[in-house]
Structure 1
Amino acid sequence: MFKSYLRATAALVILTPIGAHAQDMPAPQSSSEEQEAEAGLNTIIVTAQRREETLQDAAIPINAVSGEELVQSGVNDATALNKVAPALYVVAAGGANAGYFVRGVGNFSNNGYTNPAVAFNLDGVYIGRPSSTVASFLDVNRVEVLKGPQGTLYGRNATGGAVNVIPNIPRLGQFGGEFAAQYGNYDALQLTGALNVPLADGLATRFAAAYSRNDGYYSDGTESTEDLAFRGQILAELSDDVTLRLSGDYSTQQGSGRGLNVQGVYSFTPFSPNATAGNFTFVPAPANVTEPFTGLFAPQTLDFIRNTAVGAPLYSPLTDYAYPFRDDSYWGINAELSADLGFAELTFIPAYRKSVLDNGFNGAPFKGALNDNVAEQTSFEARLTGDVGPVEWLVGGYYFDESVEGRDSYNQFATVSFNEFQTDTRSLAAFGRLVFSVTDDFRLVGGLRYTDERREIDARVDNLAAVCLNRPSAFGPPSCPLVPTIPVGLTVADSLGQLDPALFRARPVFTGGPIVGTYPYGPIGPRGPYALIIVTPTDIERTSGDDEITYRLAAEYDVTPDNLVYASFETGFRAGGFNITFGQEEYAPEYIDAWTIGSKNEFFDNRLQLNLEGFYWDYRGQQLAALGVDGRGNNSFYTRNVGESTILGAEMDFQALVTDTTLVRGGVQYLDATYDSFTYNQVDLSAAGDPPNFLTPLTGCDFTQVLTPRRSFDIDCSGRPALNAPKWTVNLGVQQTVLLGGFELTGSVDGRYRSNRVAGFNYLPTSETGDDLTIDAAITLRPDLGDWYVTAFVRNLTDEFVPTLLQVGAGNVAAGGYEPPRRYGVRVGYEF
């Protein structure tokens, strides 16, 4: 099957040569080339292969977008990159968490001790915490999205791909800048500016700043933001052969953070063969709750949850959700030293980054989750590049050292996980790449990387469970409507200290040593206390590591100077790690092998660029970070290895200059991503006297009751589609320019279609998104010889309700996060 698939795709490659979907950053050209380029399309310059080349000449699977196009598309942070790279899917989870997927490879969410599958690189520096990537889009030159494993040239754990954000750098001998102000609905204000100043011959500096805010998109005020960012750079030509650039940046993110819309509740209905999933029947929320962007904190939503859902094991109404907030900051310094050594070019990049997270959120939905984390990383990368005869070579080394110290709590009303941890990770790598020109038109490529990672964790988790003992009848669930659920706090003492002391017959000691044990809780009935509070600690202190060799083999052939075909095989590896979860303390590495064939071409004097890529990925030991149940039956968020998947498909993108003033652009991706094996085991949460298959797991997958050695369920999701992997993704846009006697009027319309995809962990009916179509439009007026412009825009013109993350949380409440609703506004800019 695979061979026939490759043969069919190869035929398409040969018959349909391909180009790039990007513009606005032309390569240096001679005067004759400039005259030709005026009638054709510009091509962006990329450095994805650690060398400057046009996107048309980069024989790798890549999308690239200029900073100007990002502004026009409204891409202010990584979560909006879905618009410009069909293979990429970015999920904004709770707090500062962001999940990255490329063709079904990725994580829904990350925390201080998980690792992303898609490497995020800012100004050539790998960012270890995905939470540190959201505020990076300041004075951007371009963004490159690399698809598939990056097993040779890139830092850590790039099994799914890489996102490279490259800022504008200082320009020697030029004084100039740009400023822009934007205002729109939801009281959305954005101010941006950049200033380039030459200080002396061979010395220049560049400053950039941005401020943005908006009111909440949801009726309850959530999804509000207030962000601030600065960057300063100095570029110095120390000699004819040596250049040094220094950069420092600082950014903050505040506001309420992510909002949620409630879909309904999965109600426990034991021994119901016609239930929605296992022994759970879905109760949809009324229309005034599911109305788009109503929000979790709307009065009608809170009423629905209070009257419909209860949280085991306390079986008390779900009330008093904690309102979300954000107060996160990030800063970093880095340098880039470039030196011509005669026999080779040296590049050296040292960097230091720090993120401080202080936020609260409700996503899954929780009663409230709190993050108080500090992450620091130091990295060094050195590369030597040169050529000897027909061989172009590159060798390099990489060092990464990260420490994360944090306190988290995840409150699900009746169960709370309080985590305190410190992790340290050190990664060393050596890598090399050879390009051998067999002829002027045919090249063979080989790349190799050795990675050695060592990691350690010192953590404590206190699991708190409030358990109802009041059972009204001999058969059926308990009921404790008069016993309050646990307040939201960062520690056990914080939470229990908020409760009325009268609720405890033997009150825990809230100062001094750890709070551990079992405490009577709530009213006292004829048979004793209505409930118990049980605090169970788990200490985790472990050291581990992985080492791996990954490699790339490729062939490139220039059919003509404007037509390139290529084929490659590349391996990828993501290291294992730790969980702060009893019985799931460690997880193993994952691996991916990727076959790719593709072509990039220009036609009709570069008035048409087309691109086709065929791919086949073999994904093994897949790491999935998701909510689950630990070995003691407590709810926990942890990573597990769930199995294997096969990912294959094809992608085409194009842009065509139909007339000198009409540009048509677009792309199509077909993706078939299926789990060949996806199995895991979950503890049975039934009480001791309950019959088998009573409290079955809430999942849309198949499951089997296991009775020995401990009652549990084997869950099998094999054959299901990969997460966040729509079968079809289609982008199509048109840009038209009209000359109006001294003025230039440019209008654009861009649409994006995505077919149904799974955006939740457990394959429940509520975890499917359905298909969606969104449309953006803009019109810009600027004088022919002037340096100002005015743009009016509307995004999500049809006001589509587009899910990004659909989960089931405490009390089996199903809810989701969504892309922004219709937004419109005006942007005014001045360039000098």
Structure 2
Amino acid sequence: MCKFSAILAGGVSALALSVPAVAQQADASVEAQEAPAAADSIIVTADRREQAIQDYAGTAATFSGEELRARGIQDITDFNNVLPGMTVANNGGNVEIWIRGVGSSNNTELGDPAAAFHYDGVYVPRPSGIGSAFFDIERVEVNIGPQGTLRGRNATAGSVNAIAWKPGIGIWDAEAEIAYGNYDHAEFRGMLNVPLGENAAFRVAGMYLKHDSYYNNVGPIQNVDVAEAEDNKAVRAQLLWEPTDRLTILLAGDYIHEEGTGYTGTNYANPLGNGIDPRDIRNPRDVIAKAFTPDLDTKHWGLRGTITYDAGPFSVEYTGSYRDMVYNYNATTPLTPYYDGVYDNLSRREDVLAGGFVNPGVVLEEVYDNWSRFQSITDSRSHYHELRLFGEDDRLTWSLGGLYFREDQYAFLGSTGDRGLFFQGVEFNMPDVDAESWALYGDATFSVTDRFRVTGGLRYTDDSKSREGVASRYGLALGDGNFSCCGGVRYGTEGFAFAARDRTIFNPDTDGNGAISDAEVFAFWQNGVASFGARDNLDEILAFGPKGGDPFPVAGAPQCLDTVTGDFWTCNGFTNGDPFFNNQFTYAVPFQGQIFRQTGQMQDKFVDWRVRAEYDVTPDNLLYALVATGHKSGGFNDNLGDAGVAPTYDTEKVRLYELGSKNEFWLGDVRGRLNLSAFYNDYSDQVFTSLLSVAQVVDFLDGLGETVPLPENTSLALVVSYSYNAADSEIYGLNLEGGLQLPHNINWNFNALWLEAQIQNAEPIQDFRFQADVAPDEAVFQSINGKRLPRTPRWQLNTSISQSIDVPSGSIDWIVSAGYRSSTFQTIFNSQDFQNPNNPRLRLNDVVRGYATFDLGAGYTHGEGDLRFEVYVNNITNEQRESAIIITQFDNTRFFTRPRTFGARVRVGF
């Protein structure tokens, strides 16, 4: 704790030297800056009540809806570069939020985020699709640090709350906006507010947005599109009724439909394996596409009701919500990013076959026509109910409540291996995944004197999870007598479809004799396929059903397959001189399958608390100190073997210590703000999620002294998503935020963060960048003590300068903003190559180099604001950096921040 003591000492010194200060204006929108904003005009609900952000004794940020538009922010992922300490990545369609090094990459149906996302105060467990809700938004609040008492479970990093504009009683209002930008970006937004008598109002708002892919397909197959094209639609309707001065009823419903090509990332294994440094690839979004266009279909809708009654000495509020989200993604990843020499590397073939070397052109044609695919489905239905009592008088502000949350999920992940001889697919099919949480909480702030206040909060949570389903891996070896042919088994071509939720067999032991025969494995596999592809031949090769022997002859005479058409026939063999190299299948290893029924449950109970003291040195100077905790629920993993043990992991815990000062001041006629906080996070039982083989999981648990009994016929090679408590960590730093309101309506704002984040007291963990059955000498236990936590740049800065100028017909405004992030790592191994420390392999590289971004926006408002024109450029220098990197035995998959975007908007009010 010596580092924390030093931080506190520095913080106290800074507080003692601080001068009286001004309000926070977190980069308020340029349109709203026609006059300097007062401190009490920036409102947050971090303490579950509205208050000026400068009066909030903690760290929070708020972004108005106008600012989101001025900055060109489309969804939550764009916050990656606008708030120090916060990183956001779209990892294969899963939105991951990390705040000051605390986050989670467990995106399975059993995973939970570490930063809680709320939509109008309602917890959203699976935020897929919620990005399209960023229209007609009043503000987005980010609460930094554990919010265990006020925001509940899974808020160890903090919370994000998107707050929509509510209906305005007695107000007729309407607005329409159209926008166009590069990448053929087209957008429409509209809003209508209608008064219903004297005490009710109705508000409806909608949005349509589409743009082309941010990737460029530079390969020879030009009829195939690639990831990150969007075609999204959303609508929200709200009814506000105030039948009496004391009773308020708000009913709301929303519907979001996101389509497009989703988020596949790009696998850099090819260039890295050929010694190409990522820095030498000129454009990371130039890729070589193959097979087919990825297809995303997400439908997300919800209903919500809030009833508030003022009972005099206190108020009662009930919120009930139901949300339904179905995420369905069917995709294949690009072959590789483009670089000089890529085609030579793709056509290289190491196999020396009978008759000579394969024609490189034929190999390339097979590579482009590889339909290996995956499909991911998440169907989440969540119920949220909260009853809260709250009150405020001259000395006491308090809140007391109870919460119930339930989520019912269906989850599916399937893959096919096209043109393969030894691997034909994986399926995870989970029809029954349940989570339930109960909580009771209380929180109160008491004014000891007019200047000194103390806060205490307590929350009890009871969490449980359960799952029933099946996981399977299919394998088949086909070949000639020496298994030396080059490939050609087709599986997953156009027209292929998984059965997914239409599967009817979940227990492959259909005859109930306690053993699973090859015939039962074969039947189970076929039950998981709704339709084979037009050029699939695996079903025809295996049409005779499994036979005994190892190896055994394939139905009759040798079968020859055309690697392009997929046709096969009885033959006596072909040579490499044929137009298309044809493969002979005279023998096959029996159909092999590992089918693991999945069953598990978990229950945990924990208590969160917070204490805080705050003191007004002057009306413009606030000092505070707080300690707060947060928990992220533990859980269980995939079963090891058929209904075998499902290893569990414990609940994560974060304890925050923070000292801060919020200050307003005047320098002559210049109004200023300077806020400082010093913080220390004690992060214990930290959970990491890895893709490990069963053999690696067993070895890992053996290393911890836990013996895992495996059922018979368990495949040690099966790869599972495995979460485990790996280490304790410490995170500390300083945050300096402020600004000046200069003459001529010029506003300057800045936010700077110094952050240290190290892993401490870690058990040696298996290097999950390697697979035990492929690289047993490298998939071994390694120490990660002292490693830096992923996604924690040491230095972060955001700053902006803006101005509003009155002209005879209205006003002109502009804003220029800049951000800087120093380099960071994306995995806990920090790019270390344990076997080659002096010459690390590029494939293990997980560094994101430091970078700066610059944005520009300008607008003209005519008259009283009924007509407005805007232009914007985001990421002016086109800095594209990795927002996430996944490294496995065969992959180094990278997801990137948004490229340079620019456009113009016209908004009309009625």
TM-score range, shorter chain: 0.7 to 0.9
> Deviations for 1:337-385, whole angstroms, at most 9, x for unmatched residues?
1111122111111111100111124579995331223211111111111
After the TM superposition, list the runs of 4 or more consecutive aligned residues in structure 1 that deviate by more than 6 angstroms. 285-289, 363-366, 468-472, 515-528
Work out the CA distance in 2 between the residues paired with 1:618 and 1:364: 41
Percent same amino acid at aligned positions?
29
Alignment of 1:5-16 (within 5 A): 5-16=7-18
Aligned to 2:680: 616
Structure 1 distance, partners of 2:671, 2:548, is: 71
- Residue 233 of structure 2 aligns with which residue? 228
Kept after mapping to 2: 8 A contact 1:626/1:638: yes
Contact 2:207 / 2:235 at 8 angstroms: preserved in 1?
yes
**Corresponding residue of 2:486:** 481
Cα deviation digits, residues 167-190 of structure 1 (max 9, x gap): 000111111122211101111011
Matched residue, 1:647: 731
Q: Does 1:794 align with 2:873?
A: yes
Q: Is the 8 A contact 2:491 2:532 kept in 1?
A: no
SS where residue 105 of structure 1 aligns?
coil
SS of residue in 2 equivalent to 1:620: strand
Aligned equivalents of 1:211 and 1:517: distance in 2?
A: 59
One of 369, 377, 387 as aligned partner of 1:372: 377
Given the alignment, which residue of 96, 101, 124 partners 1:99? 96
| Whole-angstrom CA distance in 2 between matches of 1:451 and 1:606 | 48
- Whether 1:730 and 2:794 are equivalent positions in the alignment is no
| Aligned ranges 1:281-300 → 2 under 5 Å | 283-284=275-276, 291-297=283-289
TM-superposed CA distance for 1:663, in Å, is 0.9
Structure 2 SS opposite 1:265: helix
> Which of 462, 472, 481 lines up with 1:452 in the alignment?
462
Alignment deviations for residues 544-596 of structure 1 (CA, whole Å, 9 cap, x no partner): 20000110011011111111111100111111123335265432211111101
Q: What letter corresponds to residue 60 of structure 1 in structure 2? A: G
Q: Larger % of strand: which? A: 1
Q: CA–CA distance in 2 between the matches of 1:39 and 1:226?
A: 37
Shift of 1:489: 5.4
Instruction: Mark the runs of 5 or more structure 2 residues left unpaired by the alignment.
Output: 218-224, 336-370, 500-524, 560-582, 696-715, 832-843
What is the deviation of 1:429? 0.3
Contact 1:40 1:607 in 2 (8 A): no
Closer, same or farther in 2 for the Cα pair 1:720/1:201, shift >3 Å?
Answer: same
> Quick one: distance in 2 between partners of 1:504 and 1:715?
44
User: Within 5 A, what are the aligned runs for 1:659-698?
Assistant: 659-678=743-762, 679-681=764-766, 695-697=776-778
CA 1:128 to 1:456, structure 2 compared with 1: closer, same or farther past 3 Å?
same
Give the alignment of 1:253-272 within 5 angstroms: 253-265=258-270
| Distance in 2 (alpha carbons) for counterparts of 1:399 and 1:74 | 36
**Residue-by-residue CA offset, 1:598-631 (whole Å, 9 max, x unaligned):** 1222212882122212110011111223333234
Superposition deviation, residue 13 in structure 1: 3.1
Deviates more, 1:648-657 or 1:382-391: 382-391
Query: 1:391 deviation in Å?
Result: 2.6
Tell me how far 1:212 sits from its aligned partner.
0.2
> d(CA) in 2 for partners of 1:588 and 1:265?
38
Which residue of 1 is the match for residue 50 of structure 2? 52
> Which 10-residue stretch deviates more, 445-454 or 412-421?
412-421
1:420 CA drift (Å):
1.2
Cα distance per residue 1:221-268 (max 9 Å; x no partner): 42100110100001111211111110000011000012534434388x
Provide the residue aligned with 1:274 in structure 2. Answer: none
> What is the SS of the residue equivalent to 1:130?
coil
Match of 1:592 among 637, 644, 654: 654
Q: Is the 8 A contact 2:143 2:160 kept in 1?
A: yes
User: Residues 759 and 769 of structure 1 are in contact (CA less than 8 Å); yes or no, is this contact kept in structure 2?
Assistant: yes
Match of 2:619 among 561, 564, 570: 561
Structure-2-length-normalised TM-score: 0.78
Query: Amino acid of the residue matched to residue 827 of structure 1?
Result: R
Are 1:382 and 1:398, in contact at CA under 8 Å, matched by a contact in 2?
yes
Distance 1:528-1:152 versus aligned 2 partners, 3 A rule = same
| Normalised TM-score (structure 1) | 0.84
The aligned residue for residue 67 of structure 2 is: 69
1:817 aligned onto 2:814: no
CA distance in 1 between counterparts of 2:408 and 2:43 reads 35
Pair 1:22-2:26 in alignment: yes
Question: Shift of the alpha carbon at 1:831?
Answer: 2.4
The offset of 1:148, in angstroms, is 1.1
* Alpha-carbon shift at residue 787 of structure 1 (Å): 1.8
Aligned pairs, number: 758
Q: Partner of 1:392: helix, strand, or coil?
A: strand
Q: Judge conservation of contact 1:581–1:630 (CA < 8 Å) in 2.
A: no
What's the secondary structure of 1:696's corresponding residue?
coil
- C-alpha contact 2:491 2:538 (8 A) present in aligned 1: no
Report deviation, 1:331: 0.4
Q: Is this contact kept in 2: 1:409–1:419, CA < 8 A?
A: yes
Distance 1:169 1:577 in 2: 38
**SS of match in other structure, 1:13:** helix
In the alignment, the residues of structure 2 paired with residue 621 and residue 777 of structure 1 have an alpha-carbon distance, to the nearest angstrom, of 43
Query: Counterpart in 1 of 2:498?
Result: 490
Query: CA contact under 8 A between 1:508 and 1:519: conserved in structure 2?
Result: no
CA 1:676/1:334 → structure 2, altered by over 3 Å: closer, same or farther? same
| 1:216–1:23 distance in 2 versus 1, CA, 3 Å | closer
The corresponding residue for 2:324 is 354
The 2-side partners of 1:680 and 1:406 are apart by 28
Q: Which amino acid aligns with 2:821?
A: R
TM-superposed CA distance for 1:793, in Å, is: 1.1
CA-based RMSD of the aligned residues comes to 3.3
- Specify the SS of the correspondent of 2:133: coil
Q: 1:572: which partner in 2?
A: 630
Question: What does the per-residue CA deviation read over 1:281-321, in whole Å, with 9 as the maximum and x for residues that have no partner?
Answer: 66328999763311351xxxx6xxxxxxxxxxxxxxxxx5x
Query: Which of structures 1 and 2 has the bigger CA Rg?
Result: 2
Conservation of the 8 A alpha-carbon contact between 1:265 and 1:812 = no
The one-letter amino acid paired with 2:872 is F
TM-aligned CA deviation for residue 660 of structure 1: 3.5
Q: 1:385 to 1:728 in 2, by over 3 A?
A: same
Partner of 2:303: 333
**Corresponding residue for 1:386?**
391
Counterpart AA for 1:336: T
Q: Give the distance between the partners of 2:454 and 2:334, measured in 1 at CA.
A: 48
Aligned 8 A contact 1:23 1:41 in 2: no
Secondary structure in 2 matching 1:79? helix
The residue number in structure 2 matching 1:709 is: none
Shift of 1:485: 7.3
Q: Which residue pairs with 1:708 in the alignment?
A: none
The answer to whether structure 1 residue 535 and structure 2 residue 593 are counterparts is yes
Amino acid at match of 1:7: A
Distance 2:744 2:902 in 1: 29
Q: In the alignment, what sits opposite 1:111?
A: 108
CA distance in 1, matches of 2:549, 2:156: 43
Aligned position for 2:257: 252
Q: Is the 8 A contact 1:480 1:530 kept in 2?
A: no
- Correspondence for 2:136: 139
Distance 1:207 1:218 in 2: 34
Letter in 1 for 2:428: N
- SS of aligned partner of 1:792: strand
* Alpha-carbon distance in 2 for matches of 1:674, 1:517: 55
The whole-number CA distance in structure 2 between the counterparts of 1:580 and 1:74 is 41
Counterpart of 2:123, as a letter, is Y
Give deviations 1:423-467, integer Å, cap 9, x for gaps. Answer: 111100000012111101100110000001122111210122456
Counterpart selection for 1:129 from 126, 129, 132: 126
Task: Work out the CA distance in 1 between the residues paired with 2:316 and 2:405.
Answer: 19
CA distance in 1, matches of 2:736, 2:172: 40
Cα 1:534–1:369 change in 2 (3 A) is same
Q: Counterparts of 2:334 and 2:102 in 1: how far apart (Å)?
A: 21
Say whether the 8 Å CA contact 1:186–1:217 is kept in structure 2: yes
Are residues 135 and 760 of structure 1, via their aligned partners in 2, closer, same or farther at CA, if it must alter by over 3 Å? Answer: farther
Change (3 A) 1:668 1:23: closer
